């Protein structure tokens, strides 16, 4: 995750959960990349292109509980975007017809659904998933209406295929 030149070492909400090794100064506008950033792009760029092996692999990465390392690169899986990643995994599963991925995502949703989403103790994991599902459904026209229902006080969790 690139940092702007104005905040090269800060740990703000943008960087929470991102390992410091992944912080690089990024020019604010049109300036050339610094030597360290150029070296990192050169070293990690090519392996990053092949990090995601296929759509099922992408689905599993979206459902990951922790950062996923592969050789010299890794995928970040910070907890603050886990509800969005879960909604994306279900969207991907439905778009591809991947019932196994959808079952795994629904199982995780059922397991985590009633947990609070930190730092908002009154906002539950399932409600955050519903918020993301509504946005993704609008943008993609893939039906995620059953996930949007999770905002209700007494939700009905989706059935796994």
The length of the chain, given as a count of residues = 161
Comparing CA positions, the residue from 66, 56, 143 lying closest to residue 100 is: 56
- Check whether the bond before 119 is cis (ω within 30° of 0): yes
Please name the helix (run of DSSP H) or strand (run of DSSP E) that holds residue 73, with its range, or none.
strand 73-75
Burial of 51 (0-12, 13-18, 19+ CB in 10 A): middle
Q: Indicate the domain borders of the chain.
A: 1-49, 53-161
Lookup result for tokens 């906002």:
123
- Asked if residue 6 has pLDDT above 80, the reply is no
Comparing CA positions, the residue from 152, 146, 103, 107 lying closest to residue 127 is: 152
* Average per-residue pLDDT for the chain: 85
Q: What is the pLDDT of residues 39-75, one digit of tens each?
A: 888 999 999 999 999 999 999 999 999 999 998 898 9
How much is the pTM?
0.78
């Amino acid at each position: 995750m690139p940092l702007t030149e104005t905040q090269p070492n800060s740990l703000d909400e943008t960087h929470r959960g991102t390992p410091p090794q992944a912080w690089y100064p990024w020019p604010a506008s049109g300036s050339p990349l610094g030597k360290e950033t150029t070296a990192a792009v050169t070293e990690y760029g090519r392996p990053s292109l092949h990090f995601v092996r296929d759509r099922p692999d992408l689905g599993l990465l979206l459902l990951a509980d922790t950062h996923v390392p592969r050789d010299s690169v890794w995928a970040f899986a910070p907890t603050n975007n886990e509800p969005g990643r879960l909604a994306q995994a279900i969207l991907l599963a439905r778009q591809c017809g991947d019932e196994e991925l959808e079952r795994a995502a629904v199982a995780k949703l059922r397991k985590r659904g009633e947990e609070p989403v930190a730092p908002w103790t009154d906002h539950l994991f399932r409600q955050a998933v519903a918020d993301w599902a509504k946005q993704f459904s609008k943008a993609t026209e893939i039906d995620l209406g059953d996930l949007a229902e999770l905002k209700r006080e007494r939700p009905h969790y989706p059935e796994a295929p």
